[in-house]
Structure 1
Amino acid sequence: MSEVRDSVVPWRVWTWPNLITLVRLCGIPVFCHLLLVAEDYVAAVVVLAVGGGTDWVDGFLARRLGQESRFGQLLDPAVDRLYILVTVAVMTLTGLLPWQFTAVLVARELVMAATLLFLRYQGFDSFQVHYTGKTATFIVFMSFPVLVLAGLYEPAVDWARPLGWALAWWGIVLYWLSAAIYVGQAVWLARRSRDDVPVAS
């Protein structure tokens, strides 16, 4: 676990990884239009699968090309959160997800938001990304297109429903596990910061 205060990563906007993240961001309204307006369910599933499946590409390219940036570090998790929350909201409103699942997922996001505010209050920029969180996000992403198929495409119900829910609940468990890791990271950083403060004699 490393300290994240005073990041030395350059602030660069126009990089290939950031472009991919922005394309993923544009996929959110496209998915909503295809599912709710055009009712083109297959195309909606494709857009959703591509958006979730390419979540790791921007980070991989940033490291491979040496194009890591502070802008990308902020944009990528923000797009992930927006992608998940919008998709969950749409799927809940259309009856593809039960409200209980949505409540569990939203509660985790509220915990993360509160932890991030606490971290910022302590003078830190953000969390150190943990592989458990990235894995959980990827699995949750992948459950969504399968559940859309299960709910709207009759020939796929037999295999899509069990697969989709297996991915969804597995992802949720890892999602909460990663939240516990991030909360622990925030507490550790806060204690370390407090211990580093010199005591007046």
Structure 2
Amino acid sequence: MTEAQPVGTGSQQSVARQLMTVPNLLSIARLAGVPVFLWLLLGPQADGWAFGLLIVSGITDWLDGKLARILDQSTPLGQLLDPAADRLYIAAALLAFLLRDIVPWWVVLALVGREIVVGIALLALRRRRFAPPEVTYIGKAATFTLMYALPLLLVSHAETPVAEVLRPIAYAFTAWGAVLYLWSGALYVAQIARAVGRDVAGRA
């Protein structure tokens, strides 16, 4: 696992310059789609359009990472925007699914609780001027699985024969994704605790 590293200052690009890269513009477009996605689910309940928007988000998620490597445009800002967009889509979907009784409250509570704990740990890391830890393979697998589970849950909620077939598959993806998501969160917190602990010991 890659350890958290201190934030450098001299080599970082300005935020404005980082924003103008193709991968980051795609990430910003994904972020702009989050409120639209939530409105589609809770307002007109246009599940077909919400499903399509989620698929587009997944494609652009893959594409911005690919372009960042091909164009050599990986930036610290991009490392924040990309997972932020993933987390916001997951949070928006969980909120809408909870209000529409598609998923039980305890699933939402567990996943949102994970985000709160990791967020507090990241704030502690940031106060000591450490960069956020790199996304782990387990974290990527968890996000990938949940991003498959969400549209499957949406489709399986309909009263159709296809929905009946997809429902157990959707629940399986949700369970696998939730376990991986919680596991990755525990790994991030442990990694952050080690970095902060070493920093405290070094200052002492």
For the structure 1 residues 153 and 56, does the alpha-carbon distance in structure 2 shift closer, same or farther, using more than 3 Å as the test?
A: farther
One-letter amino acid of the counterpart of residue 181, structure 1 = L
For the structure 1 residues 6 and 122, does the alpha-carbon distance in structure 2 shift closer, same or farther, using more than 3 Å as the test?
A: closer
Match of 2:13 in 1: 10
Check conservation: 1:17, 1:67, Cα contact below 8 A.
Answer: yes
One-letter amino acid of the counterpart of residue 170, structure 1 = W
Q: Larger deviation: 104-113 or 28-37?
A: 28-37
For the structure 1 residues 148 and 155, does the alpha-carbon distance in structure 2 shift closer, same or farther, using more than 3 Å as the test?
A: same
Identity between Structure 1 and Structure 2 (%):
38
Match of 1:127 in 2: 133
Taking the aligned partners of 2:77 and 2:159, their CA distance within structure 1 comes to 39
Alignment of 1:1-201 (within 5 A): 1-7=2-8, 8-11=11-14, 12-197=18-203
CA displacement at 1:184 relative to structure 2: 1.6
Check conservation: 2:23, 2:64, Cα contact below 8 A.
Answer: yes
Taking the aligned partners of 2:159 and 2:151, their CA distance within structure 1 comes to 11
Check conservation: 2:4, 2:191, Cα contact below 8 A.
Answer: no
Q: Deviations over 1:36-87 (max 9, x none)?
A: 3333322221212222344233223212211011221222222222111111
Check conservation: 1:62, 1:68, Cα contact below 8 A.
Answer: yes
One-letter amino acid of the counterpart of residue 172, structure 2 = A
For structure 1, the 5+ residue unaligned runs are: none
For the structure 1 residues 53 and 176, does the alpha-carbon distance in structure 2 shift closer, same or farther, using more than 3 Å as the test?
A: farther
Q: Larger deviation: 57-66 or 2-11?
A: 2-11
Q: CA RMSD in A?
A: 1.9
Alignment coverage as a number of residue pairs: 198
One-letter amino acid of the counterpart of residue 5, structure 2 = V
For the structure 1 residues 15 and 74, does the alpha-carbon distance in structure 2 shift closer, same or farther, using more than 3 Å as the test?
A: same
Taking the aligned partners of 1:126 and 1:3, their CA distance within structure 2 comes to 6
What TM-score, normalized to structure 2? 0.87
What TM-score, normalized to structure 1? 0.88
